[in-house]
Amino acid sequence: MDNYLYISTFSPPYGWHKKCISWIKQFMTKKIVLFPALVLMFFCGWSHSLDQTKKESWERAYAEGRDIFYATLKKQVPQAQLEEADRKKLADAQKRISGLYEHLMNFYYLTDLKNQTKADTSSFTKILAERMSNEFMDSIHSIRLRKETSPLESLLLSIGYYARKSTPQFRKFVRPMTRRAKSQWVLKELEIRQAHTISKGKGIRLAIIDTGVDPTIKEVKGQIADWKNFLDGSKPLVSGGIFPYDWGGHGTSSATVISQIAPEVELMIVKVFDQESMFDAPFTRWNVYQIAAGINWAAKNGADIISLSAAMRLDCKEIRDASEYCWRQNITLISAAGNVEDEQSELPAYYPASYPWSIGVGGVEKKDGKLKVWEHSAKGDYIDVVAPAAEVLVESPSYLDRRSWPTRVSGNSLAVPIVAATTALVLSAMEPEKRQRLGQDSGALVEAARSILRETSSNRKLGYTKPNPESGNGLINAYQAVKKAQVLK
């Protein structure tokens, strides 16, 4: 989609007039009377003019918002308790922190869908710009410092301002996934090959909210249908922007696992993290906004399923609202229970996994041929199911300086895309009419998918006889799940 995102909220999409022209040609080809064609032509021209007016109005509002943002920053500098170097940068932020407004607005404008749909485009942008500037200054004063950096630099690292925007130096433009990755224990344990006799995820769109992806992997490249890079510093109106290349490997790991399980699903790559520059940066409210924006963008642009590996101990309004919005729109949000270092004496909640609108996922491992709950998987009553989370074979970006791939990795962040891909198989296996009917009632399709995953999971191999806070309803089974989806009444 090459059009401006705000249009989906405020008016019909650009390019709609081109469809009109196509219809006119059909009218003329079929020798249909001239008058209806002329009326249609007039309407198309009017629609295009309206679209252009909306675009120009937004561009003006966006520019005015930029002025408000930097003026508000400058106004607050004299009263702020800042280091001298930070004070000088902020006083002339438009030049010395080039593109800061564009970078923040790229995700900030999508954190609050409710107010956005109610507001006039121009007024909404101006209000947003001032609020964004005030929040940015407030964050500088409250941020936990990264080692050997100033408060401002710590915040810039946290928001992904230094995320790399260049195109990688590719060793190969296309490479297939390795055989080792395609024949790993995960696929056998979940009976993925058997499930593929029924479903491969066709007709389902799955959004991966992560660090981007390596598009040179043949199987993954063929599945990418759309993308959005929230860290590229472009205007927030632009869908896509700079392709979200993965400079750390996490997003590529998720994508390759999904591709193995659901080879016909359409992928939406949503970049909200940069593993390279944000790895040890302090967590701030802006990271919450980035995640919420990623969820909202995916939901507004056709996702059926969202794979979100992030797990937070904070219950944040923006992500809570985005999670509920997905549920109401029958978009299945799959998210992770956290990774813990030591044995848990209590059961802390991780978000958004513990929200009732999300499917919460824990992890299992296989040692000496036996399955058990992964030792670092967080526990909680919110866990619906578990999936492999240890020694999972994944591909790494080919342009990173690494000796070999695939790589064995561990973490509940791997269990999430496995469950997300299995959910794609489930939705694809349903009769289209049944899926459409469930989609008409808020949350009905999500709950149907949740029930199928739960009912076809098993705790038997994990040594449990009933649902529990460690493994939920048990280890998922893709084959049993798609069989149940096929006959869903």
C-alpha torsion sign, points 313, 317, 318, 320: positive
Residue 47 CA to residue 358 CA, distance in Å, equals 39
**What mean pLDDT is predicted for residues 14-39?**
47
**364 — phi, psi (to 5°)?**
-125, 160
In DSSP notation, 438-479 reads HTTSTTHHHHHHHHHHHHT-BSGGGT-SS-BTTTBT-B--HH
The reported pLDDT for the residue numbered 348 is 82
Residue 209 CA to residue 294 CA, distance in Å, equals 6
Which comes out higher in pLDDT, residue 406 or 194? 194
Please say whether the beta carbons of 339 and 309 come within 8 A. Answer: no
Can you count the helices (H) and strands (E) in the chain? 20, 10
Q: Is residue 124 over pLDDT 70?
A: yes
With 0-12 CB in 10 A as exposed, 13-18 as middle and 19+ as buried, what is 78?
A: exposed
Residue 404 CA to residue 235 CA, distance in Å, equals 37
Please say whether the beta carbons of 350 and 337 come within 8 A. Answer: yes
**What mean pLDDT is predicted for residues 269-296?**
91
Contacts with 242 (C-beta within 8 Å, 6 or more apart), sequence order: 165, 229, 232, 234
In DSSP notation, 320-333 reads HHHHHHHHHTT-EE
The reported pLDDT for the residue numbered 10 is 27
Please say whether the beta carbons of 195 and 265 come within 8 A. Answer: no
Q: Is residue 4 over pLDDT 50?
A: no
Residue 163 CA to residue 174 CA, distance in Å, equals 24
25-59 burial, b for 16+ CB within 10 Å, e for fewer? eebeeeeeeeeebeeebeebeebbeebeebbebbe
Which comes out higher in pLDDT, residue 40 or 428? 428
Q: Is residue 42 over pLDDT 60?
A: no
Residue 471 CA to residue 135 CA, distance in Å, equals 40
With 0-12 CB in 10 A as exposed, 13-18 as middle and 19+ as buried, what is 223?
A: buried
Helix, coil or strand: residue 158: helix
Residue 168 CA to residue 216 CA, distance in Å, equals 11
Helix (H), strand (E) at residue 361: strand 358-367
| Rg over CA atoms, the chain | 24
Q: Is residue 314 over pLDDT 60?
A: yes
Tokens linked to 294: 């990623």
Share of the chain above pLDDT 70, in %: 83
Q: At 335, which amino acid appears?
A: S
The reported pLDDT for the residue numbered 144 is 80
Which comes out higher in pLDDT, residue 236 or 200? 200
**What mean pLDDT is predicted for residues 359-382?**
93
Q: Is residue 459 over pLDDT 60?
A: yes
Contacts with 404 (C-beta within 8 Å, 6 or more apart), sequence order: none
Q: Is residue 428 over pLDDT 50?
A: yes
The reported pLDDT for the residue numbered 424 is 98
Please say whether the beta carbons of 268 and 298 come within 8 A. Answer: yes
**365 — phi, psi (to 5°)?**
-135, 165
Of 166, 215, 243, give the one whose Cα is nearest residue 398: 215
Which comes out higher in pLDDT, residue 207 or 43? 207
- CA dist list (Å): 234 to 105, 239, 451: 9, 10, 41
40-49, 119-128, 272-281, 475-484 — most confident range: 475-484
Tokens linked to 123: 């007024």
**What mean pLDDT is predicted for residues 279-294?**
92
The reported pLDDT for the residue numbered 41 is 53
164-176 burial, b for 16+ CB within 10 Å, e for fewer? eeeebeeeeeebe
Please, what are the domains in the chain?
A: 7-142 (no CATH), 179-486 (3.40.50.200)
Helix, coil or strand: residue 207: strand
Q: Is residue 19 over pLDDT 50?
A: no
**What mean pLDDT is predicted for residues 267-285?**
90
Instruction: For 164-174, write each residue's pLDDT tens digit.
Output: 988 888 876 78
The reported pLDDT for the residue numbered 433 is 95
The reported pLDDT for the residue numbered 280 is 81
Share of the chain above pLDDT 90, in %: 63
Which is it for strands 383-388 and 392-394: parallel, antiparallel or unpaired?
Answer: unpaired
The reported pLDDT for the residue numbered 47 is 47
**What mean pLDDT is predicted for residues 346-362?**
92
Q: At 343, which amino acid appears?
A: E
